[in-house]
């Protein structure tokens, strides 16, 4: 009875556009869905460092190398903002990280594709970060205060990611025949997986209805996907790049770009762990965690030693 | 070796001052084994683009806050005191600078 009254109050607060803060009463489902969503988002940032980190030592010049290093460092930062946002809901970071390393937790399927050429670094910045910005701009308005603030901070930084990516794309697109071929080939590989980043279509999305009810999400997967396509097609045209979709055409009446059917079988295959790089990513993540163990232990030993010195 | 919640590094709340004369504002939190590392991590996590000229870190467990459930009665005393605002008072027309 008490809970029903609280639930009604909670829903009124959401309706009035109020922001929910960590100590406020919240329904258990709200907390659960947020923990699931925020920790998946955090894991995606961390695993997302791997495909790009792969090219840091092979960047074509110092300017590109500095930019890529800074970008990958930002992704680590984004992971940390998000882990701490999730921690305000009563889960600890250690257990979230354990869930990632044990394979229990999911992360964005896009990071299970390989970065085969330098062009992929440009395309990831342009398409993958571009899609992430569309999603995160919405999440910056989500009902949970700490999550919304983390996304706001992330969006401010992602704009540099997208722009540096598009600069690489434009440079290659205006380059030699071999460079043009390389960038087009890369776009062909990344276009569809980028569209899949927005998640299943509305009628097949298991969590969307609930997340929308809680105002964690305020636009549907399909709406966000459409926004991304509308934004991106003119950017491709500007540098004479095409997308691998014969059905892509502008609808004068709706003012939107219509696109072909997404291969959802591929999406589910990758989510379930059978993408080209799932195993590789997890192994790299585990190795990084293990290789960093001595640093964590040294920091702890130093902190303990100082504490003892301070007490005596 | 899996760490339990009890021996996880303590959590710190991070406050940034963005420019001279501005107040320190809450930016987020992080884990660190001691204060020195908390300050260094705070710089790397929350000020990669000159967001801060000064940083405070405070152990999260040392922060005492009001609780949302008592917020109503706790802040009540201030809600009916409109005489604390200049608008409550009337003065003769035409007088300036009061």
What CATH number is attached to the domain comprising B54? Answer: 3.10.20.520
Cβ burial of A39 (10 Å; 0-12, 13-18, 19+) is: buried
A306 to B69: CB separation less than 8 angstroms, yes or no: no
Q: Residue B56 phi/psi, 5° resolution?
A: -110, 140
d(CA A247, CA A251): 11
Instruction: Read off the pLDDT of each residue in B86-92 and give the average, rounded to a whole number.
Output: 93
Q: Which of A113, A132, A121 is nearest to A278 (CA)?
A: A113
Look at residue B89 and tell me if it is in a domain: no
Contact present, A51 and A113 (Cβ < 8 Å): yes
pTM metric for this prediction:
0.91
pLDDT over 60 at B2, yes or no: no
Give the nearest partner residue to B68 out of A23, A88, A149, using CB atoms.
Answer: A23
In a domain, residue B76? The reply is yes
Of the pLDDT bands very low, low, confident and very high (cuts 50, 70, 90), residue A262 is very high
Check residue B1 and give its pLDDT.
38
Q: SS3 of A1, please? A: coil
For residues A112 and A160, give the distance between their C-alpha atoms in angstroms, rounded to a whole number: 23
* B29-82 pLDDT tens trace: 999 999 999 999 999 999 999 999 999 999 999 999 988 778 888 998 888 899
The overall average pLDDT reported for chain A is: 95
Interface test mutation site (partner A, options B7, B12, B34, max chain A beta carbons within 10 A):
B34
Residue B30 in domain: yes
| Res A208: pLDDT | 87
B5 inside domain = no
Beta bridge partners of B58: B13
Q: Does B80 touch chain A (CB under 8 A)?
A: no
How many CB pairs (< 8 A) connect A and B?
55
Task: Tell me if chain B has a CB within 8 Å of the CB of A73.
Answer: yes
* Shortest CA gap A43–chain B (Å): 16
Which domain, by its residues, includes B51?
11-62+69-84
Whether chain A has a CB inside 8 Å of the CB on B69: the answer is: yes
The interface predicted TM-score (ipTM) is: 0.84
Please give the Cα distance from B20 to B55 (Å, whole number): 12
B98 found inside a domain: no
pLDDT at residue B84, rounded to an integer? 93
In a domain, B90, yes or no: no
With CA atoms as reference, the chain B residue closest to A20 would be B68
Confidence class for position A1, pLDDT limits 50, 70, 90: low
Q: Residue B29 in contact with residue A87, Cβ under 8 Å?
A: yes
**Tokens found for residue A233:** 């097609």
User: Taking all residues of chain B, what is their mean pLDDT, rounded to a whole number?
Assistant: 89
Classify residue B53: in a domain, yes or no.
yes
Residue B40 covered by a domain: yes
Give the closest residue to A102 by CA, choosing from A282, A310, A306.
A282
Q: Which pairs count as long-range contacts for A68-75, CB under 8 Å and 24+ apart, including other chains?
A: A68/A121, A68/A164, A70/A160, A70/B48, A71/A125, A71/A160, A71/A161, A71/A164, A73/B48, A74/A157, A74/A158, A74/A160, A74/A161, A74/B48, A75/A45, A75/A46, A75/A48, A75/A49
Whether the CB-CB separation of A211 and A35 falls below 8 Å is answered with no
Q: Is the pLDDT of residue A185 over 80?
A: yes
Q: Can you give the pLDDT at residue B5?
A: 46
Number of structural domains in chain B: 1
Distance from CA of A29 to the nearest CA of B (A): 20
pLDDT number for residue B7: 65
Measured distance CA(A227)–CA(A135) in Å, rounded: 10
Q: Give the 3-state secondary structure of residue B30.
A: strand
Amino acid A190: pLDDT: 98
């Amino acid at each position: 009875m008490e809970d029903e009254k609280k639930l009604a109050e909670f829903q009124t607060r959401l309706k009035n556009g109020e922001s929910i803060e960590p100590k406020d009463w919240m329904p258990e489902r709200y907390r659960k869905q947020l923990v699931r969503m925020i920790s998946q988002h955090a894991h995606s940032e961390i695993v997302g460092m791997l495909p790009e980190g792969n090219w840091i030592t092979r960047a074509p010049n110092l300017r590109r190398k500095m930019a890529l290093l800074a970008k990958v460092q930002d992704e680590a930062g984004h992971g940390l903002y998000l882990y701490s946002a999730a921690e305000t809901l009563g889960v600890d970071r250690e257990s979230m990280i354990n869930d990632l390393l044990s394979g229990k937790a999911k992360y964005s399927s896009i990071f299970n594709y390989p970065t085969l050429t330098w062009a992929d670094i440009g395309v990831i910045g342009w398409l993958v970060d571009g899609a992430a910005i569309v999603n995160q701009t919405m999440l910056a308005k989500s009902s949970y205060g700490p999550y919304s603030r983390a996304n706001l901070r992330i969006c401010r930084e992602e704009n540099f990611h997208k722009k540096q990516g598009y600069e690489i794309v434009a440079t290659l697109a205006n380059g030699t025949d071999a460079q043009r071929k390389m960038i087009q080939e890369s776009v062909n590989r990344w276009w569809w997986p980028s569209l899949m980043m927005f998640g299943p279509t509305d009628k097949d999305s298991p969590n969307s209805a609930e997340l929308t009810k809680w105002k964690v999400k305020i636009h549907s997967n399909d709406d966000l996907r459409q926004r991304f396509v509308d934004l991106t097609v003119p950017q491709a045209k500007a540098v004479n790049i095409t997308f691998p979709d014969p059905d892509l055409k502008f609808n004068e009446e709706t003012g939107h770009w219509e696109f072909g059917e997404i291969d959802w079988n591929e999406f589910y295959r990758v989510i379930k762990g059978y993408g080209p790089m799932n195993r590789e990513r997890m192994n790299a993540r585990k190795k990084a965690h293990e290789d960093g163990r001595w640093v964590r232990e040294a920091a702890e030993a130093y902190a303990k030693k100082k504490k003892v010195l301070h007490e005596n | 070796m899996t760490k339990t919640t009890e021996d996880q590094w303590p959590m710190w709340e991070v406050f940034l001052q963005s420019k001279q004369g501005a107040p320190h504002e809450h930016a987020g939190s992080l884990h660190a084994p001691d204060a020195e590392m908390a300050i260094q991590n705070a710089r790397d996590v929350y000020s990669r683009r000159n967001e801060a000229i000064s940083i405070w870190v405070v152990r999260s467990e040392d922060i005492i806050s009001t609780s949302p459930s008592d917020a109503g009665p706790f802040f009540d005393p201030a809600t009916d005191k409109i005489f604390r605002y200049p608008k409550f008072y009337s003065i003769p027309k035409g007088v300036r600078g009061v």
